[in-house]
Amino acid sequence: MADRAAVPEVIWARPERTGRGPKPAFTRADIAAAAVRIADASGLDGVTMRQVAAELGCGTMSLYNYVPRKEDLYELMIDAIGAEHEMFEPSGDWRADMLRNAEETRAIMYRHTWVPRLMPGVFGFSPNTLRYLEHCLACLEPLDVPAGTKTELIALLNGVVTTYTGNEIATAERTRAMPWSAEEENAVRMAYLGSQIATGAYPRLTASFTEQSGPVDLEAVFRRALERILDAFDPDLR
Amino acid sequence: MADRAAVPEVIWARPERTGRGPKPAFTRADIAAAAVRIADASGLDGVTMRQVAAELGCGTMSLYNYVPRKEDLYELMIDAIGAEHEMFEPSGDWRADMLRNAEETRAIMYRHTWVPRLMPGVFGFSPNTLRYLEHCLACLEPLDVPAGTKTELIALLNGVVTTYTGNEIATAERTRAMPWSAEEENAVRMAYLGSQIATGAYPRLTASFTEQSGPVDLEAVFRRALERILDAFDPDLR
DNA sequence: GCGCACTACGTACGTTGTACGTAACTACGA
DNA sequence: TCGTAGTTACGTACAACGTACGTAGTGCGC
């Protein structure tokens, strides 16, 4: 029996096929694509080993020949959507390029709303992740700061993109999944917040709430956050 | 029978006790404390309805009298650790105060390593969350920007603290939970990264890796990220 | 003092990840 | 050329999870 048990292993380090025995029926890409298809259609919770196997048309346990743990399936999924990133030719304007990268990541997340929920748990540097990092570094070539600072900029931007977009998606999905209407939910929330505000314990918070009129433009907030971070790394603004 | 079914409800809007029938055996605080105790000791995955009930010394299903869904239990937990935040008197130096707030949040997360994993899923503005936001706004009183901008600063800071600290914790826990040693894991990872680098497909990434010598000072990276964000909101630096 | 709204909790169901055993298959060493 | 070792494939089975449901007991408001 194959030792599929505990072995210090990044799935990307394990060769895709081994040569001996029957030909594998699927590639990793097949499996990743099936999982992505399910996640897009039914959400991340729809991605079960049984469902993925059914989508592929094979027995549940056969999957474990390709993916030692479910966690590794997630890794495959993240790598798969990483291929959607357009690795454009750097323009020479590092700010514009990084904005474009961020905006594209955001778009990918809106296309695959399960990505933000998966990101924090993914650690193996998948091929497409490495390609993306390399691409970002290429975009940052004109920026005259140490390499370590560039890495920090990339990490900070990616983190903000994930956090902001993930929050928006989670809020949207929350209202969608509920058996009651969004208005109803909002009414209950507002009633609660109103009752809290009425206690007078949160004067500044109350002022902040009442001051702002109309709905928040999430995209604008997102853009401002990005710009601010770019400002903070821009030597020309110091 | 009580209708514990789908109702648009924030748990904080539901009154803690109703007056009729037998006195409840526990308060929400009891339950939250029990869940926090378990999470601290056995991780977030140890927090099951059965475990929490056992910790309280009651039947599993009795919990559902207090907490309609497990998700609401999480909400209770987040609120409970929110009480650990020290709401100090603002010093008048908003940068120093916000740094202190961030550093304290980070410390709380290191004390309760499950917090970052829970944060993205928590939406109900719990009492302690409101108190914390109010406190942040008090610290930002000397900052001369619109109220909306202050809110954005708070959100950005909190997001970065959660992301950075959460990543660190996840990495640490990952190596701890593994049946193999951290050195072994690291060796495998490095061997893999080395093999990728050897392909020559990632020249800039390779340079960045080899350029940096010695381990990364995570706390310093964290501090720099905070300072940069504060810079970006500081009118005196524009 | 009656009844209703609540608490308490055992049982049970559906679903999950995955350990394990078995059977079939093929590339390699002899 | 032929075993045989290392695979793939997959059915069965198990422990653990969230929680629906039913029943029994309790005490406040009318």
**Do A27 and A114 lie in a common domain?**
no
Whether residue B222 is found in the same domain as residue B142: yes
Query: Can you give the pLDDT at residue A6?
Result: 43
Task: Tell whether B194 is within 8 A of chain A (Cβ).
Answer: no
Task: Tell me the C-alpha distance between A226 and B73, whole Å.
Answer: 34
User: Using CA atoms, how far apart are residues B174 and B24, in angstroms rounded to an integer?
Assistant: 40
Residues of A in contact with B233 (CB under 8 A): 228
Average pLDDT taken over every residue of chain B: 89
pLDDT of residue B198: 82
From CA B73, how far away is CA A185, in angstroms rounded?
Answer: 19
Closest residue by Cα to the C1' atom of nucleotide D10? A59
Task: Work out how many domains chain B is built from and give that number.
Answer: 2
Report the CATH number at residue A121: 1.10.357.10
Same domain, residue pair B20 and B100:
no
Residue B6 belongs to some domain of the structure = no
User: Which of B81, B106, B134 is the endpoint of a domain?
Assistant: B81
Per residue in A8-41, pLDDT (tens digit) is 578 888 888 777 778 888 999 999 999 999 999 9
Measured distance between the N- and C-terminal CA atoms of chain B, rounded to whole angstroms? 62
Tokens describing residue B49: 């309805």
Q: B115-149: per-residue pLDDT in tens?
A: 999 998 777 789 999 999 999 999 999 999 999 99
What is the distance between the alpha carbons of residues B23 and A219, in angstroms, rounded to a whole number? 49
pLDDT tens digits, residue range A194-235?
888 888 889 999 898 888 777 889 999 999 999 999 999 999
- Residue B2: inside a domain: no
The position carrying tokens 């559902």 is: B64
User: Could you tell me if residue B5 is inside a domain?
Assistant: no
A173 and A57 in a common domain:
no
Torsion angle, CA of B56/B59/B60/B65, rounded to 10 degrees?
Answer: -90
Q: What is the pLDDT of residue A184?
A: 67
In whole angstroms, D28 C1' to B17 CA is 13
Identify the domain boundary among A81, A104, A127: A81
Question: Is residue A71 domain-shared with residue A135, that is, in the same domain?
Answer: no
Facing B13 at nearest CB: one of A167, A191, A231: A191
Indicate whether B60 and B90 sit together in one domain: no
CATH number at residue B56: 1.10.10.60
Q: Are residues B91 and B39 in the same domain?
A: no
Q: What is the spatial distance, in angstroms and rounded to an integer, between the CA atom of B233 and the C1' atom of D28?
A: 56
Residues A82 and A126: beta-carbon distance below 8 Å: yes
Chain A window 41-100: which residues touch B at a Cβ cutoff of 8 Å?
none
Interface check for A190 against chain B (CB to CB < 8 A): the answer is no
Q: Are residues B114 and B181 in the same domain?
A: yes
Residue A117's nearest CA partner among A74, A178, A72, A70 is: A74
In this predicted model, what pLDDT tens digit does every residue of B15-27 receive, in sequence order? 887 777 788 889 9
Our separate counts of H helices and E strands in chain A read: 10, 0
Q: Which of B174, B159, B73 is nearest to B119 (CA)?
A: B159
Is A3 inside any structural domain?
no
Residue B23 lies in a domain: yes
Percent of chain B with pLDDT over 90: 68
Examine residue B233 and state whether it is found in any structural domain, yes or no.
yes
Question: What is the mean pLDDT of the segment spanning B159-172?
Answer: 95
Kindly state the average pLDDT of the residues A81-97. 98
Q: Are residues B181 and B66 in the same domain?
A: no
Residue B109 included in any domain: yes
Owning domain of residue A51: 11-81
Residues B55-80 pLDDT 10s: 999 999 999 999 999 999 999 999 99
CA distance B57 to chain A (A): 32
Nucleotide nearest to B5 (CA to C1'): D20
Does the CB of A146 sit below 7 A from strand C? no
Flag if A6 and B195 touch (Cβ within 8 Å): no
- Looking at the fold, whether A198 and A226 belong to one and the same domain comes out as yes
Q: Do A62 and A126 belong to one domain? A: no
Smallest CA–CA distance from B172 into chain A, residue:
A123
Per-residue pLDDT reduced to its tens digit, A115-151 = 999 998 777 789 999 999 999 999 999 999 999 999 9
The CA distance from B227 to A14, in Å, is 41
Angstrom distance (rounded) from CA A189 to CA A32: 39
Give mean pLDDT, residues B85-94.
98
- Residues B190 and B218 occupy one common structural domain: yes
Residue where a domain stops, chosen among B81, B98, B115:
B81
Cα–Cα distance measured from residue B124 to residue B137, given in angstroms and rounded to the nearest whole number: 19
Distance A21 CA to D3 C1' (A): 15
Domain-embedded: residue B177: yes
What's the token pair of residue A201?
A: 């314990």
